Amino acid sequence: MVQDIADGYWRPTSAAFYLYEHVVELDESADMDLSELAEHLMEVFVTSICIADQYSVTLNHAYSDADLDSDLDKLAESLRGSGGISVGDAIKEVKKRTSEVARIITFYELDRLPESSVSLPSLNDAIPRLHAAIVRAFVAIQVSFEEIFKSKLASATDAKRFERYFDPGTAPCLDLFQKVKEGSECPFAARSRVWGAPSYVSTESIRENLSSSLPFLTSFTRVARREHLDGFLYAFPVGVFSSDISGLAPLTKTFISFLMSNDPAEPRTFSRDDITRPGWNFTFDGEDFFVNVFSPCYGHEHSRYTHGARDSIFILLQPNSSFHSKIPRDQSENKRQQIRQAFHNVYQGYEHQALEAHRFVLPLVHSDPPVAWYDAQEFFEKVGGYVIPPNVE
C-alpha cells in the first residue's frame, strides 16, 4: 500500500513547505467539519509517506523500531483501545509531529546541517510518531482511518499536481543494479538503502554528467549518517566506456579526481603520493567512503560480478557510517572475516589489499597484482565530445 501511495502522488517540490501549510490549516480545525479535518489529516499522512520514500525510510522497519504495528488497520485498532483523548489534544500532537518532520527536511535541504539540528531525530524515528499521532486523531474525531486511507489509495491518480523532479531514491540506475544487490553474498546487500545519480547522458562529457550528480551526492552526505543510508550509485554505460580493466582504470581516476576537486568541504587536487600512502581513504563532503567498481568484465567467480547486468559499469560509494551503524566497532574485524568467507564459499574469494586504493578496481584474478588505476590517464574532453575517448566523439 505504501508504495502505491508513493507512486501515485508525486512529491511536492518543497515537502517541508507543504507540511507547514497543513500545520496552518490545522490551526483552524475547530471551524472544520469532520470530513474536511479528516482530509487534511490524510493529506499529511500521504505526504509523509512520499517523504519516507524519498529519503529511503523503510516504514515497516521504522514502525518496528518505534514498537508500532506495521499493519495500519491493526495500528488504528490498537490506538482506538489505548484510552480517550480530546480532539484538541490529538490535533495539537499532529501539528507538533508534522512540524518536527518539516524541520528535519528543512535542515536536510540546507548546504550544511546547523548545530541545532543535532537534537532533532531522524525521519526514521519521526515519521512513525507522526503516523501514530494521525491515526490517534482519527480515533478522537471518530472517523474511520481505514476507510479514508483506502479511499485515498484508490484515488491516487493526480500525479500531475506536483512538479516532477529527479529523485535519487528512485534513480533508474538503482533498477539496473538490483541484480547485483540480490545476488551479492554480502549479508547487508539485499536490504541496503541506496541513492543513485541521474542517468548518464551519452551526448555530454563525463565531467558534465558528474556535475549533474553533485547536488544529490552532497545531499546524500548530509542525510546518510542520520538516516543510515548505505550507498550512492553511479552507472556508466558500456556503450560509452570500455568495461575491461584498461577502461576501468581511466574511468575510476577521472571519477575520483573530479569528486576530489569538487568536494564542497575540501576541494583538492588528485595526488598519486597521497592516494598510495598507508591510511589514505576517499572522502567527500566530510564523509569517508569505500569505492566499489563493478563491471561486466568480471566473471561469476568474482566478488565484483554484475550478475547478468551487462550494459553498465557501476561505481558504488559506500559510506563508512553505514558499516559502523550495522556492526559494533569491536566486532568489525570478525564480521569482515565472515563476509570474506561468504564470498569464498561461492568461489568469489578475494585478496584483502593493504592499501585502500587497491580495493577500488580489482584485477580479473584476485591473486594478480593490484590495479594501479591512479596511474591511468584521465579523460581529456572538449565541449560537446571527447578529444581522448571513451568510445564517442
**Which pLDDT score, from 0 to 100, does residue 301 have?**
86
Question: What are 100's three cell numbers?
Answer: 518536527
Q: Are 287 and 221 in contact (CB under 8 A)?
A: yes
pLDDT band at 160 (very low <50, low <70, confident <90, very high): very low
Lowest-pLDDT choice from 63-67, 221-225, 302-306, 350-354: 350-354
Please state, in angstroms and rounded to a whole number, the distance separating the CA atoms of residues 40 and 92: 14
Please state, in angstroms and rounded to a whole number, the distance separating the CA atoms of residues 261 and 253: 12
**Which pLDDT score, from 0 to 100, does residue 392 have?**
46
Q: Are 291 and 233 in contact (CB under 8 A)?
A: no
| Cβ-Cβ contacts under 8 Å for 28 (sequence gap 6 or more) | none
Please state, in angstroms and rounded to a whole number, the distance separating the CA atoms of residues 100 and 114: 15
* pLDDT surpasses 90 at 158: no
- Model confidence pLDDT, tens digit, residues 348-368: 444 567 899 999 999 998 889
> To 5 degrees, how large is the angle CA 138–CA 21–CA 92?
40
**Which pLDDT score, from 0 to 100, does residue 277 have?**
95
Q: Name the residue among 371, 372, 389 with its Cα closest to residue 380.
A: 389
- DSSP state string for 12-55: PTTHHHHHHHHHHHHTTGGGS-HHHHHHHHHHHHHHHHHHHHHT
* pLDDT surpasses 70 at 289: yes
pLDDT band at 207 (very low <50, low <70, confident <90, very high): very high
Please state, in angstroms and rounded to a whole number, the distance separating the CA atoms of residues 161 and 256: 39
Confidence (pTM)? 0.78
Q: Name the residue among 106, 98, 117 with its Cα closest to residue 43.
A: 98
End-to-end CA distance of the chain: 47
Question: What are 310's three cell numbers?
Answer: 551487462
* pLDDT surpasses 70 at 375: yes
- What letter represents residue 270's amino acid? F
Type and span of the H or E element at 338: helix 332-345
The proportion of the chain whose per-residue pLDDT surpasses 70, expressed as a percent, equals 77
**Which pLDDT score, from 0 to 100, does residue 188 have?**
60
Q: Are 318 and 290 in contact (CB under 8 A)?
A: yes
pLDDT band at 339 (very low <50, low <70, confident <90, very high): very low
Mean pLDDT across the stretch 70-75? 73
Backbone phi and psi for residue 192, each to the nearest 5 degrees, phi listed first:
-70, 150
Lowest-pLDDT choice from 210-214, 218-222, 279-283, 374-378: 218-222
Lowest-pLDDT choice from 55-59, 156-160, 378-382: 156-160
Q: Are 180 and 174 in contact (CB under 8 A)?
A: no
Among 32-36, 72-76, 227-231, 252-256, top mean pLDDT goes to: 252-256
